[in-house]
Every structure is written in C-alpha cells, then in structure tokens.
C-alpha cells in the first residue's frame, strides 16, 4: 500500500527533557536528511534500522537549531510498518514546534490524530483489538487498567478470536463438502458431533462476553457513590477508607457541595469513591446544585453506599430514597456506632432492619474506623458476585467489541438451533459465515472503512 509521508510531535506539548518529532512513510529518510546533519557526516540512509545518530537540526539556511538524536527504523520493522525516523530534540514547546515546521517544509504532511496507528493497522502490523489496547494503555487511570490493556496488547483477545474463527472455518469446510458433494464418500459429522462442535464455539464466545463487565471495571473503576442525608458522615467515611483527610468534615449539615472523586485500590480492584452533597431540600443555591449533582452520580454508580447515622436513625425520606434505588447496587451503611447506647439514639437502631428487610446492613464508625473491613468485603461480594477476575485472561475492552461478539453469538446460536431442528445444513452454514464476519469486525478484518476511521480518530495526535 502506498501512503504519503506524515509527521507529528509524538510527545506531550510542554516543557520536558526531550521532545520527539516522528516521521513515517517512504520519504521519511530523505525528509529527515534535509533537517538533520549528523556529527560525523554519516547519512541516515546508510544507517541500519534501530540505530541512533547524534547530530543537529538545521533550518533552511543551514543555521543550527538544536542538538538532536535521530532514530531510524526501516520498513517493515517499525510501528507503522513504514520507514520511520524520529528526531529527539530538547523538550520545549517552541523548539519541538520549530523542528516539526522544518520537517513539514522538507516535504512531510502533518499527520491526523491516530494516523500512525491507522497505518500500522492498514499495513498489518496490529489488529483492531491491539490498536484499542494502545488507546487504553495511554488512557489508563489505574494500575489494573494497565494490566488489562496490556493483555490485549499482547494479543490475548486476538488469538482467542483467531482460534474460534479457525474452528468455525473447519466446521464450515465439512458442511460445504456435504452441500457440494452430497454423493461422495466423504467423512461427515454426525449431527451430534456437529452440534457439539458448534456449541463449543458458542461457549467460547459466551465466555468472552462475560469478561466485558470486568474489563469495564478495570478500565474505568467501580463507581461507588456515597450518599445520604447531610451530616451522617459521608465525607468522614471517604476519609476513613482513604486513610487521608481528603474531604472537609464539619458538624455543619451541608458541608460537602461539590462532588469529590478519589481512586481507591480495593485488593487490586479500582474503586472510584464518590463523596456527594447530602440530599435535602435547600434554598442555598450552591448546595442545591450539589444535590442535583448527587442525583446524577446515583444514576452512574455501580454501587451505592447509603449512609445513615445511628443517632438519628432512618427517616421517611431516607426510606423513600433507598426504595427508589436499584436494590442490587445498594449497601446500607449505618455510621457512628460509637454513639451506641446514648440516650438520643434509643430505639432508632432497631427499626432500621425492620424497615429495610432484605438489605445488607453494615455498622461502622468512620470516626473510630471500625467496620471498614466488612464494608470493603461486602463491596467486593456485591458487585463482583465472583465474576470479576484479574488475571491474564482476555478481557473485552469496549462496547464495540462486545456488540460484534453478541452478533456472532446469536449467529452461532441460530446455527445450533438449525442443526437441532434438523434443518438442511446449508442454513447452518449461512449462520456460521455470518458469525465469522462479526468476529472479523472485532479484529478489523471485515470492517467498514468509516468505522476504522472513527476508531483511529480517537487516538491522540502523534500516535
């Protein structure tokens, strides 16, 4: 495939030790040569791939611009699969831009966001699952997100899908031989064998689909919203779990107005703990906005810690609010157990289990940091219900992958139903071919150009 030669700044714009201008395409060497003069007069074209040459960047008049290291990677052994030269200069905003301008004047075109990676894809260096893993590594917010993306970068989804496709093609080959040469004495699957082989692949895909939830949680974190009425100790709970004075705590109801989000590593599971403004009717304009934001966070949350205060017990509003929430997501946290036995709290504790039958109740003291371990264990139990795993298994990385595999699953299921119903095998063959197309969408083998463009446009500039 022929492409023009593109260039971009590959490092972040700002002040740093080095800045990198990356050039890719068949003219990369020649263009770099116009901007770069090596110390000892060597030409970049004579250098082997993966070599680094010391020299300087010069402008059109041959004036010194900066000291530079030029790294050469020749086709096909480069990220894009094309000739690539990287010029490593000092990392100032102006100097990096200046070198980019010189490269542009020397004949390269400014790359679009993600264009280097798109070329890597079009030149067969990476498939789409790897391309998406690259975006995920760049955007990773937690350590687990890095490992999850890393698995896909190593090709764990890709290889799994390749194997499923290989098996489907094998089944198809038998079916088609049967269709094309019905008279011949060929080896034929018994319908039982055919059914089993189809079901095996259906189960494989189902297994992959199940990893979607874990994948999303690894990437984005498990959104855990702390909500409740003012002054029950939501911010104190956040601080107690983080073991840091992150949120302001006072005895004044309505202290928290803005949303506070913090990452917390719960045994390798990234939690995004969200402290919110206490829910109440208020005339204070700022607090009102806070309460509205709380409602939004409730909608997005994977888990809701509904905090009550042991001394004040549960009110009618609490009850109504809790009942409105998705029960699956709610843990009721009764805070301030250190106040137990005080007169003003008499009898209020007992009515909570009675009013909230079937809800998991956790008793804690944010002040004395008791009950926090049980709370964390309950969070793990609640959402994961045992199906989130962190290991080197492939994890579906996004909705796009999930949607295509859901289509593949349905097609294979149709094939299975057709075989079960004793419908002629050519119907099953059509379904299996459809499944192969859907799997090909995930890796990018059978995808529209438009969708490919869209995926790569989400990359950053210079990648």
Ligand X SMILES: Nc1nc2c(ncn2[C@@H]2O[C@H](COP(=O)(O)OP(=O)(O)OP(=O)(O)O)[C@@H](O)[C@H]2O)c(=O)[nH]1
Binding site for ligand X (CB under 6 A): 230-236, 249-251, 253-256, 277-278, 335-336, 338-339, 365-367
Q: Which does 336 bind (CB under 5 to 8 A by kind): ligand X, Mg ion, none?
A: ligand X
Measured from the CB atom, the residue of 256 and 294 that comes closer to Mg ion is 256
- The least distance separating Mg ion from the CB of residue 452, rounded to whole angstroms, comes to 47
Q: Which does 142 bind (CB under 5 to 8 A by kind): ligand X, Mg ion, none?
A: none
Q: Which does 201 bind (CB under 5 to 8 A by kind): Mg ion, ligand X, none?
A: none
Question: Which one of Mg ion, ligand X, none interacts with residue 270, CB within 5 to 8 A by kind?
Answer: none
Task: Point out which span in 250-258, 306-314, 363-371, 423-431 binds Mg ion (CB under 5 A).
Answer: 250-258
Please check whether residue 460 is in contact with residue 451, taking contact to mean a CB–CB distance below 8 angstroms.
no
The partner in contact with residue 440, picked from ligand X, Mg ion, none with C-beta cut-offs of 5 to 8 angstroms by kind, is: none
Answer with the entry of ligand X, Mg ion, none that 26 interacts with (C-beta below 5 to 8 A by kind): none
Residue 151 or 256: the one with the smaller Cβ distance to Mg ion is 256
Counting contacts by CB under 5 A, is residue 231 touching Mg ion?
no
The least distance separating ligand X from the CB of residue 306, rounded to whole angstroms, comes to 11
16 and 39 Cβ atoms separated by less than 8 Å: no
Quote the least distance from Cβ 307 to ligand X, whole Å. 6
Buried b (16+ CB within 10 A) or exposed e, 354-372: eebeeeeebbbbbeeeebb
**406 within 8 A of 206, measured Cβ to Cβ:** no
Q: Among Mg ion, ligand X, none, what does residue 99 contact (CB within 5–8 Å per kind)?
A: none
| Of 298 and 439, CB closest to Mg ion | 298
Nearest to 429 by CA among 440, 415, 439, 413: 415
Q: For residues 391-450, which are near Mg ion according to CB under 5 A?
A: none
235 belongs to the binding site for Mg ion (CB under 5 A): yes
Name the token pair of 376: 């964390």
- Terminal CA-CA length for the chain: 20
Between 235 and 443, name the residue whose CB sits nearer to Mg ion: 235
Residue span binding Mg ion (CB under 5 A) among the ranges 248-256, 316-324, 355-363, 434-442: 248-256
Q: Which is nearer to ligand X, 53 or 276 (CB)?
A: 276
* Shortest spacing between CB 230 and ligand X, in angstroms: 4
Which residue, judged by CB position, is nearest to ligand X in the bound state? Answer: 278
Site for Mg ion in 83-102 (CB under 5 A): none
Interacting positions 13-72 with Mg ion (CB under 5 A): none
Near Mg ion by CB under 5 A: residue from 256, 294, 411, 443? 256
Query: Where do we find the tokens 């009764």?
Result: 334
HEC string of the chain?
CCCCCEEEECCCCCCEEEEEEEEECCCHHHHHHHHEEECCCCCHHHCCCCEEEEEEEECCCCCEEEEEEEEEECCCCCCCCCCEEEEEEEECHHHHHHHHHHHHHCCCEECCCCHHHHHHHHCCCCCHHHHHHHHHHHHCCCHHHHHHHHHHHCCHHHHHHHHHHHHHHHHHHHHHHHHHCCCCCCCCCCHHHHHHHHHHHHHHHHHHHHHHHHHHHHHHCEEEEEEECCCCCHHHHHHHHHCCCCCCCCCCCCCCCCCEEEEEEECCEEEEEEECCCCCCCCCHHHHHHHHHHHHHHHHCCEEEEEEECCCECCHHHHHHHHHCCHHHEEEEEECHHHCCCHHHCCHHHHHHHHCCCCCEEECECCCCECHHHHHHHHHHHHHCCCCCCCCCCCCCCHHHHHHHHHHHHHHHHHHHHHHCCCCHHHHHHHHHHHHHHHHHHHCCCCCHHHHHHHHHCCCCCC
Residue among 404, 414, 411, 463 at smallest CA distance from 439: 404
Which residue lies nearer to Mg ion by CB, 205 or 260? 260
Nearer residue to ligand X within complex by CB, 8 or 334: 334
Size of the site for Mg ion (CB under 5 A): 4
Q: Which listed option, Mg ion, ligand X, none, makes contact with residue 404 (CB within 5 to 8 Å by class)?
A: none
Q: Which listed range, 254-262, 314-322, 346-354, 454-462, lies at the site for Mg ion (CB under 5 A)?
A: 254-262
Smallest gap from Cβ 260 to Mg ion, in A, equals 8
Q: Which is nearer to ligand X, 325 or 390 (CB)?
A: 325
Q: Is position 129 an interface residue for Mg ion (rule: CB under 5 A)?
A: no
Give the shortest CB-107-to-Mg ion separation in angstroms: 59
Closer residue to Mg ion (CB): 234 or 463 = 234
CB 249 to ligand X: min, Å: 4
Which C-beta is closer to ligand X: that of 247 or that of 436? 247
Q: Is 255 in the site for Mg ion (CB under 5 A)?
A: yes
241/264 Cα distance (integer angstroms): 8
Stretch that binds Mg ion, among 40-48, 95-103, 231-239, 402-410 (CB under 5 A): 231-239
Contact footprint for Mg ion (CB under 5 A)? 234-235, 255-256
């Amino acid at each position: 495939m022929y492409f023009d030669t593109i260039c971009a700044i590959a490092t972040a714009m700002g002040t740093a030790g080095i800045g990198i201008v990356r050039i890719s395409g068949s003219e990369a060497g020649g263009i770099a040569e116009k901007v770069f003069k090596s110390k000892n007069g060597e030409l970049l074209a004579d250098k082997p791939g993966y070599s680094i040459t010391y020299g300087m960047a010069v402008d059109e008049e041959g004036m010194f611009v900066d000291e530079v290291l030029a790294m050469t990677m020749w086709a096909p052994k480069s990220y894009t699969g094309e000739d690539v030269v990287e010029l490593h200069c000092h990392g100032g905003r102006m100097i990096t831009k200046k070198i980019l301008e010189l490269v542009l004047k020397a004949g390269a075109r400014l790359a679009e966001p993600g264009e280097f990676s798109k070329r890597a894809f079009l030149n067969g260096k990476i498939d789409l699952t790897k391309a998406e893993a690259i975006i995920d590594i760049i955007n990773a917010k937690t350590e687990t997100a890095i490992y999850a993306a890393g698995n896909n970068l190593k090709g764990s989804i890709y290889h799994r899908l390749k194997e499923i496709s290989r098996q489907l093609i094998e089944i198809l080959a038998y079916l088609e031989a049967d269709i094309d040469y019905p008279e011949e004495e060929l080896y034929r699957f018994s319908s039982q064998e055919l059914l089993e082989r189809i079901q095996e692949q259906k189960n494989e895909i189902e297994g992959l689909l199940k990893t979607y939830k874990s994948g999303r949680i690894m990437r984005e974190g498990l959104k855990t919203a702390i909500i409740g009425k003012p002054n029950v100790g939501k911010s104190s709970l956040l601080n107690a779990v983080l073991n840091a004075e992150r949120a302001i705590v006072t005895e004044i109801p309505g202290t928290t107005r803005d949303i506070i989000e913090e990452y917390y590593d719960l045994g390798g599971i990234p939690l995004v703990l969200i402290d919110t403004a206490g829910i109440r009717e208020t005339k204070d304009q700022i607090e009102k906005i806070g309460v509205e934001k709380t409602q939004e966070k409730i909608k997005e949350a994977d888990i809701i810690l509904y905090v009550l205060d042991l001394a004040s017990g549960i009110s009618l509003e609490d009850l109504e609010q809790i009942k409105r929430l998705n029960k699956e997501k709610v843990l009721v946290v009764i805070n301030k157990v250190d106040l137990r036995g005080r007169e003003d709290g008499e009898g209020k504790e007992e009515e909570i289990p009675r009013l909230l039958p079937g809800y998991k109740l956790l008793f804690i003291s944010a002040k004395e940091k008791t009950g926090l371990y049980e709370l964390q264990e309950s969070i793990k139990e609640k959402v994961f219900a045992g199906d989130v795993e962190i290991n080197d298994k492939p994890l579906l990385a996004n909705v796009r992958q999930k949607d295509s595999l859901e289509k593949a699953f349905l097609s294979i299921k149709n094939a299975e139903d057709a075989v079960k119903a004793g419908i002629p095998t050519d119907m099953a063959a059509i379904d299996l071919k459809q499944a192969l197309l859907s799997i090909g969408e995930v890796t990018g083998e059978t995808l529209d150009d438009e969708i490919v463009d869209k995926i790569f446009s989400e990359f950053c500039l210079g990648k």
